[in-house]
Amino acid sequence: MTRTLLTGNAAAAWGARLAEADYVPAFPITPQTEIIELLAEWMQRGAMAGRIVMLESEHSMLTAAGAAAATGVRVFTATSSQGLLYAMEMLYTVAGWRVPLVLVNVSRGLAAPITLEPDHNDVLAVRDSGFLQFHCATCQEALDGVLLAYRLAEDARVRLPVMVNMDGFYLSFTREPVRLPEPEQVRRFLPPFDPETLYFRAGAPRSQGVAVLGGAQYSYFRYEAHLASLGALRVFEEAAAEFARLFGRSYAPLETFHTADAEFAFVMLGAFATKAKQAVLRLREAGWRIGLVRPRLLRPFPAQALVEALGGLRGIAVIDQNLSTGMGGVLCSEIGAALLRAGARPVVAGYVGGLGGRDIPVEEFFEMARETKAAAEAGRCPPTRLLYTEEELRQTRALQAIAMAE
């Protein structure tokens, strides 16, 4: 197992390479493009025995990906942001086909206004599609996540596509030390794809993705996908246990950091959660009993683990790098609902921050901790706050003046 410096994109590409993906339908978009460029290079010089094909859009790319998986090959693909939404119709469709494939999404804010920098609105917009979602916080996780994703997707008890998500720039273009597993070891963890009943071939007539009429049939197929997704939680835990045995790295559906004795916790998804870890350590030095909870799996939603981790706390600060306009943060309402249904009532402070790649400096974590504690003492959940400073508004005003917006 070599340790080397890799960007998140390269780590994801390594995941696909080590998984020995047969087929990669592709389309470029920043900040994902490096993944498909690397795969193309490896395939063209024979370092990887797969085929990459450039499609003309992400909608077509997902169609080709799903159709190839339905024919019985191991498929990898990647996109980002507008591309993910352009493929939206096909995300639901291929999930409904019940085909296993792995899609890496490199999160980037959605237009308009168009931007290159990350937030999680893209990946959360498709959270109901049937794809499972694995969210990464490090480049190592991007690689390992792809391997875990194949195990999950191809398990007969699941057979759903899986999305591995990483933040644009903060992971995609950032190099970190990554352990590259040995191909032999990976093969033990992830045996060759057994398509079972998934194929098209002469002599075995098969109709896939067939139309249905009537709510009873439709409900059946949709709900079965839901049951498979819920069941994937256990399958993931099994796979993660084997992964830990083989590679020495443990992945629970929920990452918890200093929560054992905590009174408070930050809750967030993705790469910025490592910033929260840094804040936790500093706050603890100052005497706080505070931790971090980070869902790796968002679909299936690890509700029980979340309730166990958060239910007994005095207050939690949910930091959403997304915005459901007219509602607030997506994660906050999902977690709030899980706690409510479990009868657990920590005070929940909702924050929206990091939109369009806006940084969240450590001081803001300190301040969120302070506000959350005050709210807990008052026994009241505060309204959702946008992490935004006077200085930022001043800068925006200056630009508005140039734009002659009055």
What residues make contact with another protein under the rule CB under 8 A? 22-23, 25, 49-51, 53-57, 59-61, 63-73, 75, 89-90, 93, 96-98, 156-160, 196-197, 199-213, 217, 220-221, 223-225, 227-228, 231
Per-residue DSSP letters for 19-55?
Answer: TT-SEEEE---TTTHHHHHHHHHHHHTTSS--EEEE-
CB closer to another protein, 53 vs 241: 53
Shortest distance in whole angstroms from residue 296 CB to another protein: 23
State the minimum distance, in angstroms, from the CB of residue 71 to another protein.
Answer: 4
- Angle, alpha carbons 171-176-182 (nearest 5°): 110
Least separation, in Å, of the C-beta of 37 and another protein? 19
Do 352 and 384 form a contact (C-beta atoms < 8 A)? yes
The nearer residue to another protein, 156 or 378, going by C-beta atoms, is 156
Give me the least distance between CB of 220 and another protein, in Å please.
7
Cis peptide before 265 (omega within 30 of 0): no
Which residue's CB is nearer to another protein, number 66 or number 83?
66
Q: Would you say 162 or 375 has its CB closer to another protein?
A: 162
Q: How far is the CB of 74 from another protein (least distance, A)?
A: 9
- By beta-carbon proximity to another protein, the closer residue of 221 and 388 is 221
Best CA proximity match to 71, nearest among 180, 185, 206, 173: 206
Closer to another protein by Cβ: residue 104 or 319: 104
**Token pair 């970190």 in the structure block, residue:** 176
Query: In 3-state terms, what secondary structure has residue 354?
Result: coil
Instruction: State the amino acid at position 248 in one-letter form.
Output: G
Q: Choose between 212 and 327: whose C-beta lies nearer to another protein.
A: 212
The least distance separating another protein from the CB of residue 139, rounded to whole angstroms, comes to 29
What beta strand segments (E) does 8-161 contain?
A: 23-26, 51-54, 76-79, 102-107, 132-135
Contacts of 53 (CB under 8 A, 6+ apart): 23, 24, 25, 26, 64
Among residues 108, 126, 143, 127, the alpha carbon closest in space to that of 30 is found at 108
Residue 319, strand partner residues: 351
Closest among 94, 99, 11 to 60, alpha carbons compared: 94
- When the beta carbons of 224 and 238 are compared against another protein, the nearer one is 224
Q: How far is the CB of 76 from another protein (least distance, A)?
A: 13
- The smaller minimum CB distance to another protein, of residues 202 and 404, is found at 202
| Whole-number Å distance between alpha carbons of 378 and 23 | 56
Cα(346)–Cα(380) distance, integer angstroms: 10
To another protein, the closest distance from the beta carbon of 353 in angstroms equals 36
Considering beta carbons, is residue 200 or 388 the nearer one to another protein?
A: 200
List the one residue out of 63, 60, 64 whose CA is nearest residue 51: 64
Q: What is the rounded (10 degree) CA torsion for 3, 163, 317, 332? A: 180
Rounded to a whole number of angstroms, the minimum distance from the CB of residue 194 to another protein is 10
Compute the least distance from the CB of residue 23 to another protein, in Å.
6
Q: Name, in order, each residue with C-beta under 8 angstroms of 205's C-beta and a sequence gap of 6 or more.
A: none
